[in-house]
Each structure stands twice: as structure tokens, then as C-alpha cells.
A and B are shown apart, each in its own frame.
Chain A
């Protein structure tokens, strides 16, 4: 692992210094810069089970009925409420390093703020990496808002001669290139979530209270459809020559089921036994589950088959990108093995570049 130091001056004149870790790998392969999304951190691209989590195992089969034991009162109704369990997942950094790629991964400055300083930071990091690895080809792999970060970086540095021929791929994962309509309907989304929370407030808010809060944040509002930032970014934007752009979008809003352990009916019947009630519980899926599928169709972002919970597939692409669509939600883009295989295949197809 190499630590590459960088520094930049922010718009207020403050000099900010830092270092970014670059994992070891095959020098003949490109160096991949990993960019997380809005509100993310370094774990998003390395250990998504730590952050952002949301790695619910929503397809897991229900466990067998469980015996609680003999009681002296009847067992009736719900015993507990729960969401799906989390499943083990492997993030992009370990997958890529496992295939011999060097990775630069870091937590962006203002990771929940506006993009101005993260763009300056990325510019400084790229310049530092170009010097530290003078023969390395660079690949950007960006999740969500990270895709807009790299676009802004490219646009601001389109004519930088040090970048010429050094970037081979820009791959964006579920990035709101054309904005997210959720930012435009944030209030209506709040109301819909509040209505759904009447089913079970604790459960519903645990499942996607994060969604209600994120859509109101300034950083997400910056990504609203038609926002000044996006309008300015797309004006006159062209692909950087020699760079292959690939954009991946998602069309699944399935996040987690709302589950309950329920007393079996037999738990309500006394038996000739002391104590008389043998309590057993069985798992059931509650009305309103799975959560996001139950919201009204306020925007394509939260409609099954159109969006990934935060970004609509129709807004996740660029006019000059090769477009890919998978049935994944927004978080699954951080660990899904089939998506990882697609990206690895893309990188492997360019064997002429790095052997």
C-alpha cells in the first residue's frame, strides 16, 4: 500500500492536505480511482457492509418455525417485528485488488455537502497519482454522485495536457447524470413515508428513514432534475477523447421485507400439559412489505422496473456513454457480483492496453 500525498486550496483560500492509499497490484493494469456517492465514505467502495449497509438479504428463505417454550398463557399475534438480516457482501476494492488492480480509495471532503470542494480535492489527488505512478493508466469507478464528481472534474480539466491519454475508462454506477426527481418531490415523499409508517413506524423508519432525510439535504438538492449545477455541468459537455464511458443503471427498488415472528395458531390452544400453552413462532411477511415497493409512484426513481430507489435508470446515463441496466437497487451497485463481473469483463476486454 502506498500513501500518496496531495494538497489543494479551497475557495476560501484554505490549504487542505491529505493522503490517499493506493493498494498494491499489477503495474501493467490500470490504477482504479474509486469514488463513493453522496453521504458515503471510504467503506462504500471497500466494505459496504460497514457503510452504507443496506445489504439486506431480501431473498432469503424464511427460517423454520421456532419453539419458544411452554407458557401458562396463550400465544397470540405478533411476537416480534424485524427486517431482513444482512448478508455478507464484498465491495469493489477487494474484488478489484483480488484481480490485480491497484485501487485508490478515500473518503471525500464534504461527503455530505456540495460538490465544489470534492472536485478540487479529486483534481489534486489525480495530479498526485499521475506523478506517483507516471506510467499508470487511470480508471474512474464511481458510484452515485461520484459519477457527477468525475464528470465535473473532467469538464474542468478537459484541456489539461497531463491527462491526455492517461484515462482509459470512466465507469459510473447508478449515477444521477440527468438528476434525481426525488429531490423535486421530497415533500411528497416525506408524506408517503409517514403514511406507510402507520403500519409500523419503527420498522418503516429503520428500513428507509435514511431516504426521507437524504432527499432534503443540500447535497441531494444539488442533484435535482434541472438544478443549476446539473444544467451548468451538461452545457457543452463532451466526452474526453480516448476515454471509454460506461454507465450502469438500476431498476429494482426492492430493499428489505417487513417481517414478523408470529405466534402459530397452535400457540393459542391449551394442551393437557402444565403449563398448558406450547409457544411456537413462525415468520410472516407483513402487509406493506417490501417497503419501497409500497410507496406511491411519485417518481420513476422509486418505481420497480424504472429506478433503483434514488436514481431512475432513464437518468443514469450520458449521451456519450455505453449504457447498461441491471435489476439492482442503489446500494446493491456496491457489491453485486454480477455487476462486478460485468465491470471486470469491460476492463479485461481492453487487453491491448495493459496486457
Chain B
């Protein structure tokens, strides 16, 4: 439950995975990317915590504080402006399983009597178990 609305986080992650489309494969193995899009792989454009907008960086700090045993590795990044993709960082890998999947996003808008723009940044990360130093003493 978030606010007054019920929310099933696990089910949402399943939905996220079900609706997922690998844009890298779509545009490199069968078609052309839309004009104006910057398409690259994580190897070419590494996604680091420093790339996160400040509010997302704070969210990630909170997550790490409450989940010290989880390592977070960013593997995909998508930016859309008014629904059209402008930046895609992705390779041929699919999504992690729903229990190893973390997503972070930020939507910002500007609106005047002449201009309306909606920009969404979506980051996808792989969660893994982090080995804490000193944990293995045997």
C-alpha cells in the first residue's frame, strides 16, 4: 500500500519485464533507430552513479543504507522527451529477474503558454549480493 492505493511491487516488476522491449536489438539487428537518437552500449557509454540526477542519487543512497548487502550495477539507460527516445544505452542483454531488478526514474517537465515538454530518464540496474569485507572469517 502506498498512500491509499494498493501496490504490488513484485507484480509490477513482473509487468515491467513482460512489457520490456530490447531497443538495442530492435534497432541494430532488424531496423534503424529513429532519427536523432543517441544509441550506444554500456561498454561504450558506462552508466555510473555520477550520471544519476541528484534526487535519484539520494534515493540510491537511501536504498544502499537499508540494503547494505546488495550491489547495484547499472546496465541500461533510456531518456524520452515527449515520449520519443533521445538517448538509449543498452546492449543485447535482457533484463535481470524480477528479484534482481532495480529501476530508477525521474520525470521533469516545463510548461508555458507556448512550450510543454516532458522528459523522463529511466535507469535499469542489476542487483547482486555484495560480499562485505570481513564477513568470511573461516
Contact B76 A272 (CB under 8 A): yes
In the complex the two chains form, is A72's CB within 8 Å of B103's CB? no
Using a CB–CB cutoff of 8 Å, the interface residues on chain A facing chain B are 71-74, 262, 264-266, 269-276, 278, 282, 284
Q: Which residues of A contact B83 (CB under 8 A)?
A: 71-73, 274-276
User: CB-CB < 8 A to B120: which residues of A?
Assistant: 72, 74, 270, 276
What's the least CB distance linking A198 to chain B, in Å?
19
In the complex the two chains form, what is the Cα distance from A103 to B105 in whole Å?
A: 68
Distance from A30 Cβ to chain B, minimum over Cβ atoms (Å): 54
Q: Considering the chains assembled together, what is the distance between the CA atoms of A275 and B118 in angstroms?
A: 12
Question: Are A272 and B5 interface neighbours, CB within 8 A?
Answer: no
Residues of B within 8 A of A (CB): 2-5, 7, 12, 15-16, 19-21, 23, 76, 78, 80, 82-85, 95, 103, 105, 107, 118, 120, 122, 124
Q: Tell me if B107 and A74 are in contact (CB < 8 A).
A: yes
In Å, the complex CA distance between A276 and B123 comes to: 12
Cα-based distance from A278 to B3 in the complex (angstroms): 20
Verify A272–B16 contact, CB threshold 8 A. Answer: yes
Chain B residue contacts of A71, Cβ below 8 A: 83
Nearest residue (CB) in A for B11 is: A266
Q: Which residue of B lies closest to A278 (CB)?
A: B19
Minimum Cβ distance to chain A for residue B74 (Å):
13
Q: Tell whether, in the assembled complex, residue A274 and residue B7 are in contact, meaning their CB atoms are under 8 Å apart.
A: no
Q: What is the bound-complex CA distance between A282 and B122, given in angstroms?
A: 25
| A72–B23 alpha-carbon span in the complex (Å) | 16
Contact B122 A270 (CB under 8 A): yes
Cβ B12 vs Cβ A266 within 8 A: yes
Q: Shortest distance in angstroms between A213's beta carbon and chain B's nearest beta carbon?
A: 33
Query: Which residues of A lie under 8 Å from residue B95 when comparing CB positions?
Result: 272
Partner of B2, one of A265, A273, A274: A265
Bound Cα distance from A74 to B82, whole angstroms: 11
Q: Does B78 contact A269, Cβ atoms closer than 8 Å?
A: no
* A272 with B7: CB separation less than 8 A: no
Assembled-state Cα–Cα distance A270/B76 (Å): 13
A264 cross-chain contacts in B, Cβ below 8 A: 5, 7
Cα-based distance from A305 to B7 in the complex (angstroms): 36
Distance, CA A264 to CA B95, complexed state (A):
24
CA distance A72 to B76 in the complex (A): 19
Chain B residues with CB below 8 A from A262, complex form: 5
**Contacts of B105 on A, CB cut-off 8 Å?**
269-270
- The smallest beta-carbon distance between B28 and chain A, in angstroms, is 16
| B80 and A274 contacting across the interface, CB-CB below 8 Å | yes
- B5 and A273 contacting across the interface, CB-CB below 8 Å: no
Closest chain A CB from B6 CB (angstroms): 8
Of the A-B pairs whose beta carbons lie under 8 Å apart in the complex, a sample of 24, sorted by A's number, is: A71-B83, A72-B82, A72-B83, A72-B84, A72-B118, A72-B120, A262-B5, A265-B3, A266-B7, A266-B15, A269-B105, A270-B78, A270-B105, A271-B15, A272-B23, A272-B122, A274-B84, A275-B80, A275-B83, A276-B80, A276-B120, A278-B15, A278-B19, A284-B5
